């Protein structure tokens, strides 16, 4: 219950931040968002840092809920095997998981900076080029149909198998396990996250829909048909956008 409560609080804070920034962007209220948002153009180091913070918090809001079953199972087993330091080990496990998405956030922030400078993404964080949007949609759709996606998703969908295969003792082992689980999730979802450049990096509706998509893929009893349908829809959408 402590772990579940902490995860719920972290996700609630992250979603509150996204709602705050998204509302500010929608209403162009600079007074409210100037402290947490980058400039519209000509970014400097501070602006890149703000975008990095935005991506990092967004990844926590989107991905931590779908990792909760694995975290809770890890917490239950750690409580049985190392009761006195179970909470510390769980904290380190979550830190390892978040660290992998933090690295992804660094790359996404630099990518957004480059796309903004190239005029392919608008200052409002939406793709300004149909070629970019169509290409990302095609890539994400095709990726849904690949064996690599299936392999990564299988690892994310089976917490018991993951923990049995990668169990490590101690805090260092917990951190290693968190990183490994994070890598599986990044491998499964990184192209879906890049679709935010097409849909709007701070569009709360699309952020919520992508989060739900990731969760459904992980909890459906047989996600193959869902992945196939989603892949075909994304490919068709990408072709239509390019045309």
Is the pLDDT reported for residue 204 higher than 80?
yes
The model's pLDDT over 136-174, given as tens digits with 9 standing for 90+, comes to 999 999 999 999 998 888 888 888 898 998 888 888 999
Phi, psi of 44 (to 5 degrees): -115, -175
Q: Which residues pair with 121 in a beta bridge?
A: 127
Long-range contacts of 29-33 (CB under 8 A, 24+ apart): none
pTM above 0.85, yes or no: yes
Least-confidence region, from 13-27, 50-64, 217-231: 13-27
Amino acid 40: pLDDT = 58
Is the pLDDT reported for residue 33 higher than 60?
no
Alpha helices in the chain (DSSP H): 2-27, 30-33, 45-81, 86-117, 130-144, 147-157, 159-166, 170-194, 196-199, 204-219, 224-242
Contacts of 182 (CB under 8 A, 6+ apart): 96, 97, 98, 99, 100, 101
Identify the residue with better confidence: 156 or 179. Answer: 179
DSSP 179-222: HHHHHHHHHHHHHHHHTHHHH-TT-HHHHHHHHHHHHHHHH-S-
Amino acid 114: pLDDT = 84
Q: Tally the residues of the chain.
A: 243
Q: Is 167 exposed, middle or buried (0-12, 13-18, 19+ CB in 10 A)?
A: middle
Nearest to 50 by CA among 144, 139, 122, 125: 125
Identify the residue with better confidence: 43 or 163. Answer: 163
Tokens at residue 154, please?
């299988």
Amino acid 87: pLDDT = 87
Q: Which residues pair with 127 in a beta bridge?
A: 121
DSSP secondary structure code for residue 123 in this structure: T
């Amino acid at each position: 219950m402590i772990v579940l409560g902490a995860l719920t609080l972290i996700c609630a804070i992250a979603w509150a931040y996204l709602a705050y920034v998204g509302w500010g962007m929608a209403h162009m209220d600079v007074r409210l968002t100037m402290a947490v948002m980058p400039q519209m153009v000509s970014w400097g180091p501070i602006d890149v840092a703000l975008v990095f913070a935005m991506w990092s918090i967004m990844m926590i809001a989107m991905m931590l809920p779908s990792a909760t079953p694995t975290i809770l199972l890890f917490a239950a087993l750690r409580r049985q095997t190392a009761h006195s330091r179970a909470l510390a080990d769980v904290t380190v496990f979550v830190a390892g998981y978040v660290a992998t998405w933090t690295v992804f956030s660094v790359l996404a922030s630099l990518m957004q900076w480059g796309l903004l400078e190239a005029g392919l993404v608008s200052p409002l964080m939406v793709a300004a080029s149909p070629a970019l949007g169509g290409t990302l949609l095609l890539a994400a759709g095709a990726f849904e149909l690949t064996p690599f996606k299936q392999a990564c998703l299988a690892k994310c969908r089976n917490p018991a198998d993951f923990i049995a295969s990668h169990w490590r003792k101690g805090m260092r082992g917990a951190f290693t396990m968190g990183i490994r689980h994070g890598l599986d999730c990044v491998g499964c979802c990184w192209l879906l996250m890049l679709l935010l450049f097409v849909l709007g990096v701070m569009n709360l509706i699309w952020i919520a829909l992508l989060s739900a998509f990731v969760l459904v893929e992980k909890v459906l009893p047989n996600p193959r048909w869902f992945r196939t349908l989603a892949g075909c829809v994304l490919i068709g959408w990408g072709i239509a956008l390019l045309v």
